[in-house]
Homo-oligomer: A and B are copies of this chain.
Amino acid sequence: MKNRGLLLVVSGPAGAGKGTICGTFMQRHPQVHLSVSATTRAPRAMEQEGIHYYFLQQQQFEQMIAQDAFIEWANFCGNYYGTPRAKVEEKLAAGQDVLLEIEVQGAMQVKKKFPEAVLIFILPPSMEELRSRIIGRGTETMEVIDRRMARAAEEVELAQQYDYFILNDTVEEATDRFESIVQAEKIKVSRNLTLLKEVRGQ
């Protein structure tokens, strides 16, 4: 019997580098299914339907909420964001691993509904380093930077609810650690009771 896939949930403050780490991980493991979120906010330039987001009307989104069609959802600044359930369930059942890159609040919802999910928090080497990375982008005002830093501190507080953390010192090393987590989770006894029976010849 084929095992269910792993549900991998990755979060972390903006600027900690979770997008880069997930991207590098997906390059190394293209067989993993990267879940695409749905949102009601307007597409930005370059954003493509079904690749960056599924862009929905508010009514469509609220109908899906009513049908329990999201694994997690939230409303930020008047826009909905959520992870559609159907494809995630289908891939997991087929034994394919699924990667969600979502906010901490969403991750907490996922953990409740899927206790077997693997929650990974990406950490910057330090909050000072995070600040200099955000400043380094050169695109943000000091006010935005301060707001991001306050938010990052709140998010790191919630990191204690996660299963693993990855300190993002270099992308290569951080991605190696991500791979180790996936490898180790796959050979947990609790996920392989059927295989153990098979080895005993039962």
Contact = CB atoms under 8 A, between A and B. Distances in A.
Interface residues of A, number: 37
Interface in A125-170: 125-127, 153, 156-157, 159-167
B177 A164 contact: no
A162 B188 CA distance: 8
A155 to B, nearest CB: 10
Interface in A164-194: 164-167, 176-177, 179-181, 183-185, 187-189, 192-193
Contacts of A177: 183-184, 187
A82 interface: no
Assembly stoichiometry (copies): 2
A199 B160 contact: no
A3 B176 CA distance: 21
A156 B136 CA distance: 54
Contact of A196 (B156, B179, B184, B185): B156
Most buried by B among A156, A162, A196: A196
A187 B164 contact: yes
B157 A200 contact: yes
Contact of A201 (B127, B160, B180): B127
